[in-house]
Amino acid sequence: MAHSDTLSRFRVRPAEPQDCPEILRLIKELAAYENMPDAVQLTEEEPKIVGFAMYYYTYDPWIGKLLYLEDFYVMDDYRGWGIGTELLKKLSQIALDTNCGCMHFLVVVWNKPSIEYYMRRGASDLSTEEGWHLFRFDKENLLRMAMGE
């Protein structure tokens, strides 16, 4: 089957409330892919949804509005079919249509295939190119700081 024929079997669309069980399944599969201990086994039936992208908008004082890609995943059996490329195309269109100056996202350091995938498409690794480090205050430290400790 030709690449374009295979891709024509799929469509990129916004999620709907009835998609929640399928999206939850993909989120659990993504967690398993990222070596989380509570991985879920999938059934053999062909899924209706094979990938997803979860994003929101944020603001950077230097850049302006930006699209933040929180999660991006395509099931292993469906990789290489152009589905991820179509998702990125749609996300790029959404970002441009909503006046975003760029799209930010994180990739775990050991995930070389994804890093190479994004860099082939022109992504910049801000940790090496601009020297930025991502930090987090967990809830315990937020509480401690809020209490003035």
CATH assignment of the domain containing 93: 3.40.630.30
pLDDT the model gives residue 122? 95
Look up the pTM and report it. 0.74
- Residues 20/38/108/90 CA torsion (nearest 10 deg): -10
pLDDT the model gives residue 46? 57
pLDDT the model gives residue 112? 94
**33 catalytic per annotation:** no
- Tokens representing 58 are 């944020």
CA 138 to mean position of chain CA atoms? 22
Q: Give dist(CA 23, CA 137) in Å, integer.
A: 28
> Would you say residue 126 lies in a domain?
no
pLDDT the model gives residue 45? 54
For the chain (149 residues), the mean pLDDT of every run of 10, in chain order, is: 67 86 84 65 59 95 95 91 93 96 94 93 92 91 92
> Would you say residue 141 lies in a domain?
no
> Would you say residue 35 lies in a domain?
yes
Which residue of the set 55, 57, 73, 118 is catalytic?
118
Tell me how many domains the chain contains.
1
> Would you say residue 127 lies in a domain?
no
Range of the domain at 83: 3-105
